[in-house]
C-alpha cells in the first residue's frame, strides 16, 4: 500500500487539474489546472523509475550500488521543458486577452461566439 502512495498522489493531482479545467472560469486558474495535470503526469513518470535505497544514475566515479532507472528522468526533464514553454505561451495569451477585453473571466471572453 505504502508503495502505491505516489501513484495515488498522481491520480489526485490529475483529477484536481481536470476539475479546475472544467469548473473554473478564471483564465489564470485554467492555466493552473493545466499545470496540475502536467505535474501529475511528470510525477507518474518519475515514480515509474524509482527504486528505494538506490542512487542517482550517474556513472562517473559512482560506487557499485543500485541506481534508479535513468530513462524516466530524461523523459520528465524533457516534459518539464515543454511544459515551461506551453505555460509561458499560454500566459502571454492571457495577458493579451486581458489587454483587449479588460477581464480574465472566461464567461465574458466570448466575442468569437457572437
Partner 1 sequence: MINEHLPALIIGIPLLAAFATPLISKINDKLRNIFVIGILGATLCLVISLAFNVFNNGIFVYVMGAKSPGLTLPSGYKMPVRIILEVDGMSIFMAIITSIVSLLGAIYSWAFMHKETGKDKYYTLLLILAAGMFGMEFTGDMFNFFVFLEITSIAACGLVGFRINRGESSEAAFKTMVMYTLGALFVLFAIGILYGEYDALNIATLASRIRYTMLDKIALGLLVTGLAMKAGAVPMHMWVPDAYAEAPAPITMILVANSQASLYGLFRVCFTLYGLTISTYTLGWIIIILGVLSMFIGVTMALIQKKIKRLMAYHAISQTGYMLLGVGVGLAVLSDANALNTYGLKAMEGGIFHIMNHAMYKGLLFLTAGAVIYATGKRNLNELGGLAHKMKFTAIFFIIGAAAIAGLPPFNGFASKLIIYESVYKFNPMLSVIAMLVSILTLASFVKVFQSAFLGPEIIEVKKEPKSMIFAMLCLSVIIIAFGLFPDIVVDKIVAPAANALVNSMQYIAAILGGA
Question: Where along the sequence are the contacts to partner 1 (CB under 8 A)?
Answer: 14, 21, 27, 30, 34, 37-38, 41, 44-45, 48, 71-72, 75, 78-79, 82, 85-86, 89-90, 93-94, 96-97, 99-101, 109-112
Write down the H helix ranges in the chain. 5-23, 27-48, 70-101
What minimum distance in Å lies between the beta carbon of 3 and partner 1? 13
What minimum distance in Å lies between the beta carbon of 68 and partner 1? 14
Angle between helices 5-23 and 27-48 (to 10 degrees): 160
Q: Are 21 and 51 in contact (CB under 8 A)?
A: no
Smaller CB distance to partner 1: residue 58 or 88? 88
Cα–Cα distances in Å, from 15 out to 2, 12, 34, 52, 101?
Answer: 20, 5, 11, 27, 30
Smaller CB distance to partner 1: residue 63 or 88? 88
Smaller CB distance to partner 1: residue 58 or 112? 112
Smaller CB distance to partner 1: residue 62 or 89? 89
Cell of 96: 493579451
Amino acid at each position: 500500500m505504502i508503495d502505491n502512495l505516489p501513484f495515488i498522489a498522481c491520480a489526485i493531482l490529475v483529477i484536481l487539474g481536470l476539475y479546475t479545467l472544467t469548473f473554473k472560469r478564471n483564465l489564470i486558474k485554467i492555466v493552473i489546472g493545466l499545470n496540475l495535470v502536467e505535474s501529475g503526469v511528470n510525477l507518474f513518470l518519475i515514480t515509474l523509475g524509482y527504486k528505494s535505497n538506490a542512487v542517482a544514475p550517474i556513472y562517473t566515479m559512482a560506487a557499485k550500488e543500485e541506481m534508479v532507472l535513468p530513462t524516466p528522468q530524461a523523459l520528465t526533464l524533457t516534459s518539464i521543458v515543454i511544459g515551461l514553454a506551453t505555460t509561458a505561451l499560454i500566459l502571454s495569451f492571457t495577458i493579451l486577452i486581458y489587454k483587449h477585453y479588460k477581464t480574465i473571466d472566461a464567461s465574458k471572453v466570448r466575442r468569437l461566439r457572437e
